[in-house]
Amino acid sequence: MAYYILKLVITTLLIVLISEIAKRNSLMGAMLAAIPLVSILAMIWMYIDTSDAKSAVDFSNSIVWLIAPSMTLFITFPILIKRGLGFYPSLSIAVIMTILAYYSVILLLQKLGVR
């Protein structure tokens, strides 16, 4: 249980730290957010939990396929804001569009036989 709490605390602290840095310097915050810290932490926790590097490699390979659809959020959100839509509606639409992009890529990969 202590290990689980440690994982939660470390992960939470990183997210809070990045958001605080972004308040002061958006470029620095963006750079830190663009570093795949969550993925890195997930691979570390996965390896510590299983001692299996292959599962971290498989996880990493899966992420590669999902990089392009994740860009949907970062492209759609600012466009909607610039067109005068409010913050929460813009974010909600961008998230929905990103989910649809993920789903589309996953379906395409399945049709191509990529696992």
Per-residue burial over 18-50, b = 16 or more CB atoms within 10 Å of its CB, e = otherwise: beebbeeeeeebeebbeeeeeeeebbebbeeee
Please write the tens of the pLDDT for every residue from 14-68: 889 999 999 999 989 888 888 888 889 889 999 999 999 999 899 898 888 889 9
Q: What values do phi and psi take at 13, rounded to 5? A: -60, -40
- Using CA atoms, how far apart are residues 99 and 60, in angstroms rounded to an integer? 19
The full set of domain ranges for the chain reads 52-115
Distance CA 100, CA 106 (A): 10
Asked whether the predicted pLDDT for residue 11 surpasses 90, the reply is no
Report helix, strand or coil for 35: coil
User: What contacts 89, CB < 8 A, 6 or more positions away?
Assistant: 80
- CB neighbourhood size of 69 (10 A): 19
Question: How confident is the model over 93-105, as pLDDT tens digits?
Answer: 999 999 999 999 9
pLDDT band at 1 (very low <50, low <70, confident <90, very high): confident
Cα-based distances in Å from 86 to 37, 89, 92, 100: 29, 6, 10, 21
